[in-house]
Amino acid sequence: MPLLMLFALLAGAGTAITPCVLPVLPALLSASAAGGRRRPLGIVVGLASTFTVAIVALAQLVKGVGLASGAARTLAIVVLLGFGIVLLLPDVAARVQAPLSRLARFGPRTRGDGFWSGVGVGGALGFVCAPCAGPILAAVTSVSASSGPSARVVAVAVAYAAGLSAMMLLYALGGRAVVERIRRSARGAKVERALGAILVLTAVVMATNLDVRFEETLAKDASLPAVLVNPTRALENSGAVQSRLASLRPPPRFANAGAKLPRLGAAPDFVENQKWFNTPGGGALSLHSLRGHVVLVDFWTYTCINCIRTLPFLKGLYATYHRYGLEVVGVETPEFTFEQSAGNVAQAIRSDGLRYPVVQDNRFGTWNAYGNQYWPAEYLIDASGQVRHAQFGEGDYAQSEAAVRALLREAGASRLPAPMSARAIIPSAQLATPETYLDPQRGQGFVPPLAPGVRDYPGLRGAPALNEFALRGRWRVGTQAAGPVAPGASIEAGVQAAAVYLVLTSAGNVPRRVTVTLDGRRLAPVTVVGQRLYTLVSLPHAGQHALSVGVPPGVSAYDFTFG
C-alpha cells in the first residue's frame, strides 16, 4: 500500500504538467497573486480537499474523471465569479460587503495572510479540475463509484491530490513572484482589476463548458508529444502499479463458497436500465415479478468475444429448461459508446438468435448493484430471490447446468430432461495472444506505444515478434478507438491463435473493405458496415502468424481478441 501511494503521488505530480490542467491555471495564478502571502497555500489546500471529495465521495455523480456533478460545478463557478468581481470592482464589492462585515474576512484582501480566502478559491477550483485520467485516477473513481470509498481508496486519492497540489503550489508561488514585480512598476489597482478580470473570464469559460470541450479536444485530436499528454504513462501501466490497483477493488459481492449452493445474499433488482427486448410489449421485468422462477442473470456486451462464445450454452439452457421454470435475463452492459445504441443491441439479439429477455444497462446501474467486474458473468438466483451460484468468465458449463437443475428441483420441478448437449464455443488450447485495445490506456504490445491525437506511425521494420502490434500510416487515436486519416494505413501484429477478431465501425454505416493478410497471403476481405465484432481470421488450428490488417479512412478499430 505505501508503494501504491508513492506511485499515486508521482502520478499526480506528473499530470499537473499536462495540458489538461490549463483551464484552471489562469484562475489559480490570478487568485494566488492577490491577497496575503499565505493565500497560495490556502488555495492548494482547498483544491486538494475538494478534488479528493470529487473523485471519491462524489464518484457516482462524476461525469468524466475529475469533473464533479452539475451542482458542485455551478457552485464553483459562482465562487470564482464572486472573487473576480471583488477584485475587478472593489467599490461595488465594498458596498455589498458592508452589511456582511463578519463574512468579509473570507473575501480577497491585500493585507493579512489570506489563507482562508485562498481555501475558498481553491475549493472551487478543486471541483472543476479535471487532469488527464491515467489508470490510477480512473481506478480510484471507478472503484468508488461501484463499491463505495474505502480507507485504501481514499489514501490513494489523497496521495494523488497531494502530488497534483504540490505542483500547483509551485505554479502559484512562481506566478505570485512575477506579479509582485509587475505590481512594483505599475499601479496596484490596475493589476488587481486585471486579476479580477481573469477570474471572471475563467468563470464564464466554465459556465459555457468551453473548458470541457478543450479537454476533450486534447484527449482526442491534439497532436502533442506523449510525454506532455501523459508523462506518467509508463509508470502507471507498469506491472507493479497494475497489480496493486487490482487489489483496491473488493472481491465480487457474490462468490461461490463451495461445491454446494449456499445462499450468497438477496439478489439486487434490475435498476437504472433502458430498453427491454423480448418481453411482452417491451415491458420491464423485476425479480419480484419473477419470484417462483429460477433466474439466471447474464452480464454481457455484444462485441465481447468471451460473451459471444457463451451464447450457445445460454440459449441451450433457455431452450431446455424454460418450460420447467428457468428464466434467463441478459443484462447488456456496454464497454464502448456505440454499444449503448438500442438499434445496435436489437440487431445483435437478432443475429445471435436470442429469445430470452435482454435489458440495456447503459449507466451500469444493475452492474454496480451486483458489484460485478466481468464480461461475461452469470448469477443464478433461486425461486425465493437468493443468489445461489456465480460464474465469472468462460468455463465450468457442466457445473453451471448442474446448479440450474438443482435449483429447479428445489423449486418443485420434476421429471427434468437429461442434461443438454448444447455447449459453448471453446477457444483454442494453444491460444497465446491476449486481448488488446486500440487506445492509449489499454493498448498492450504496441511498438511504439499508442498516443492520443493525429500522428504518423512507422510500422515494423521486420517480421513482428509474438504479441507485438504496430500501426503503419497516419492515424487518429482517441480515447476508445483508432482510425486512419489517410489511405494506406494498416495494423501489423504477431499472433498465436486459431481465430482473430476485431471490433470495427464504419462512419455513417457506409460499407468499407478491410483487407487481411496472413503470413504474406491475402485472405478474403472483410466488409465493415455495422458497429460490431468482425472475424478476420478463422483457422482449424492455432499457430503463430504474421498478421496485417489494411484499414481505410472512415473505419475505426477498437479491440483485438483471439480464439
Q: What is the pLDDT of residues 230-273, one digit of tens each?
A: 666 666 666 666 666 666 666 666 766 555 788 889 999 999 89
The whole-angstrom separation of Cα 144 and Cα 353 is 37
Range with lowest mean pLDDT among 127-131, 276-280, 362-366: 127-131
Residue bearing cell 502530488: 163
Residue 286: CB atoms within 10 Å: 10
Q: What is the CATH number of domain 276-410?
A: 3.40.30.10
Which set of grid coordinates corresponds to residue 48? 486538494
Give me the pLDDT at residue 178, please: 79
Region 5-15 average pLDDT: 79
Options 2.60.120.260, 3.40.50.10420, 2.60.40.10, 3.40.50.1100; CATH for 436-562 is 2.60.120.260
CB within 8 Å of 381: residues ≥ 6 apart: 267, 287, 294, 295, 296, 297, 387, 388
**Segments making up each domain of the chain, as ranges:** 2-216+224-239, 276-410, 436-562
pLDDT computed for residue 105 by the predictor: 47
What local confidence, expressed as pLDDT, does residue 56 receive?
73
Cβ distance 249 to 143 under 8 Å?
A: yes
Containing 118, the helix (H) or strand (E) segment is helix 115-128
3-class SS of residue 199:
helix
Task: Report the pLDDT value the prediction gives residue 401, as an integer from 0 to 100.
Answer: 94
Buried b (16+ CB within 10 A) or exposed e, 506-532: beeeeebebbbebeeeeeeebebebbb
Interatomic CA distance for residues 505 and 345, integer angstroms: 14
| 467, pLDDT greater than 50 | yes
For the chain, the average pLDDT equals 81
Res 104: pLDDT:
39
Task: Provide the grid cell at 17.
Answer: 504538467
Amino acid (one-letter) located at 35: G
- Shortest CA distance to 227 belongs to which of 470, 440, 22, 474? 440
Contact assessment for residue 528 and residue 491, using Cβ atoms and an 8 Å cutoff = no
Pick from 321, 324, 326, 301: which is nearest to 311 by CA? 301
Q: Is the pTM of this model over 0.75?
A: no
Q: What is the pLDDT of residues 500-551, one digit of tens each?
A: 999 999 999 999 999 999 999 999 999 999 899 999 999 999 999 999 999 9
d(CA 410, CA 261): 11
- Map residue 457 onto helix, strand or coil: strand
The confidence score (pLDDT) of residue 514 equals 98
Percent of the chain with pLDDT over 90: 45
The H helix count followed by the E strand count for the chain is 17, 16
Q: In the numeric block, which cell numbers belong to residue 544?
A: 503463430
